Every structure is written in C-alpha cells, then in structure tokens.
C-alpha cells in the first residue's frame, strides 16, 4: 500500500464512534507496520511526532487520532516488534537460552529497532518517564515468566541444574542478551551466539545445535 493510500484510509476514520472497532484496529495496525519499517531504516531520536507522521505517510492529525504522543507511538512500535520476536522465538521448542537466541536472531535483522529499544530503555530510567518505565517493567516481567516456565520444563527433564533459582536464571539470561545486543550494535564483530552458548553450558541446560 502506498503512503497516499494509507493516508486516505486513515483520514476516512469514523471519529464519531468511541473505543476500538475492527476498521480502527486495522488502520492502527497499518500505521504500526509502516512505522516498524521506517524506524528500522532511519531511526527517529529527537524527531517530532509531526515529522514521524510525514515519514510514515499520514498526517499529524491522523497520527494523533491513534497515538497521543511520540513516545506512545515509539513504545507501541516496540510492543509490536516484541510480539513478532516472541512469535518467532516460540517456534523453536528448545530451552530458554535457545528461546532468547531465536528472539535475538530476529532482532538482529532489524538493528534500527534494536537501537530504538536501547534508547527507550534508557528513557525508562528517567524519573519522570512513567510510560516507558511501565512498559519495560511489564516487558521484563513477561519475558522472565516465559523463560522461568521453560527452565521449569528443563528441570523436570533433567537438563537444568537443581540448584539454580529459576527467576534469577531468567533475569541473568535477559541481562546477557540485552548487554550483548548493545555490544553488537556498537561492534558487529561481537559474537552474541558464542557468548549465549557459553551461558547455556554454565547454566547446565541442553545443548543448542
């Protein structure tokens, strides 16, 4: 769909109705789909919501109909990217480290969004940025829960050490992956997979092919 076609469809939104409904949800998703591609190609640190709308191909007014602020749009883009990475990772059916590695493999294809993730996580450390903080608190809770559940299965199968606290192990895997991703963004020669393989062996989980 071209930018003009997307703009036309969004501008025909029936604003008389209240709350989300199928057409509104679909058009909001179209904006997110386009935003994912644009942010990955260009990055938008320090860019206004109006400039974002121009790059995505919709008017500022149409963009504000769905997103109250630039940061809200950025967080929703990250949420959508996370959803896609989780879907991709869940296809593995392997251990927790493999789950994270598949998510990392997916994200390495979209370095612009990885950089946006790092920028927004840094913003979450600022005391006034409640929305970013809430997003990352929920995100880490969700990923820790998914990893702990995978670790629990591994423990029952005898592939993970009995003396490892599962929640702590989940936090360690996330920290390793996030830290390695930052290093990789700065220096693409960093061996993310090799480092995660080593962590896999240290935790005593099943080997990864």
CATH of the domain at 44: 1.10.10
In this prediction, residue 134 has a pLDDT band, given cuts at 50, 70 and 90, of very high
Same domain, yes or no: 61 and 95: no
The pLDDT score that the predictor gives to residue 186 is 92
Dist. CA 132–CA 25, nearest whole Å: 23
Dist. CA 114–CA 181, nearest whole Å: 8
In this prediction, residue 198 has a pLDDT band, given cuts at 50, 70 and 90, of confident
Mean pLDDT over the full length of the chain: 78
The pLDDT score that the predictor gives to residue 13 is 42
Sign of the C-alpha dihedral computed for residues 187, 193, 194 and 198 taken in this order? positive
Same domain, yes or no: 8 and 77: no
Residue 98's CB: how many other CB atoms inside 10 A? 21
Same domain, yes or no: 107 and 27: no
In this prediction, residue 4 has a pLDDT band, given cuts at 50, 70 and 90, of very low
pTM above 0.85, yes or no: no
Percent over 70 (pLDDT), the chain: 80
In this prediction, residue 42 has a pLDDT band, given cuts at 50, 70 and 90, of low
Same domain, yes or no: 59 and 84: no
pLDDT above 60: residue 16:
no
Q: Minimal CA–CA distance to 70: which of 84, 56, 86?
A: 56
pLDDT above 90: residue 15:
no
DSSP state of 158: T
Same domain, yes or no: 45 and 85: no
pLDDT above 90: residue 102:
no
Percent over 90 (pLDDT), the chain: 12
Same domain, yes or no: 90 and 113: yes
209 is a domain residue: no
Q: How many domains does the chain have?
A: 2
Same domain, yes or no: 97 and 188: yes
Q: Which domain holds residue 28?
A: 3-67
Same domain, yes or no: 124 and 84: yes
Q: What is the mean pLDDT of residues 102-129?
A: 81
Kindly list the distances between the CA atom of residue 21 and the CA atoms of 2, 15, 16, 24, 28, in Å, as whole numbers in the listed order. 23, 11, 12, 5, 10
Q: Note the pLDDT tens digit of each residue in 182-193.
A: 999 899 999 988
| Domain final residue pick, 38, 67, 96 | 67
In this prediction, residue 12 has a pLDDT band, given cuts at 50, 70 and 90, of very low
Same domain, yes or no: 35 and 120: no
Same domain, yes or no: 126 and 167: yes
86 or 174: which carries more pLDDT confidence? Answer: 174
The pLDDT score that the predictor gives to residue 93 is 55
Same domain, yes or no: 34 and 113: no
């Amino acid at each position: 769909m071209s930018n003009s076609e997307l703009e036309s469809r969004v501008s025909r939104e029936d604003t008389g109705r209240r709350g989300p409904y199928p057409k509104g949800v679909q058009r909001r998703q179209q904006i997110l789909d386009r935003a994912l591609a644009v942010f990955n190609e260009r990055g938008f640190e320090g860019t206004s919501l109006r400039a974002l709308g121009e790059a995505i191909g919709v008017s500022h007014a149409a963009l504000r109909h769905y997103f109250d602020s630039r940061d809200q749009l950025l967080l929703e883009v990250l949420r959508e990217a996370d959803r896609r990475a989780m879907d991709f990772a869940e296809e593995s059916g392997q251990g927790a480290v493999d789950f994270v590695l598949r998510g990392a493999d997916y994200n390495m294809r979209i370095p612009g969004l990885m950089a946006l993730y790092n920028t927004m996580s840094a913003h979450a450390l600022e005391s006034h940025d409640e929305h970013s903080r809430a997003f990352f608190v929920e995100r880490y809770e969700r990923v820790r829960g998914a990893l702990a559940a995978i670790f629990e299965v591994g423990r029952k199968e005898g592939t993970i050490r009995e003396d490892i606290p599962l929640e702590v192990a989940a936090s360690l895997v996330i920290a390793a992956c996030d830290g390695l991703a930052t290093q990789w963004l700065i220096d693409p020669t960093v061996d993310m997979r090799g480092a995660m393989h080593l962590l896999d062996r240290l935790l005593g989980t099943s080997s990864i092919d």
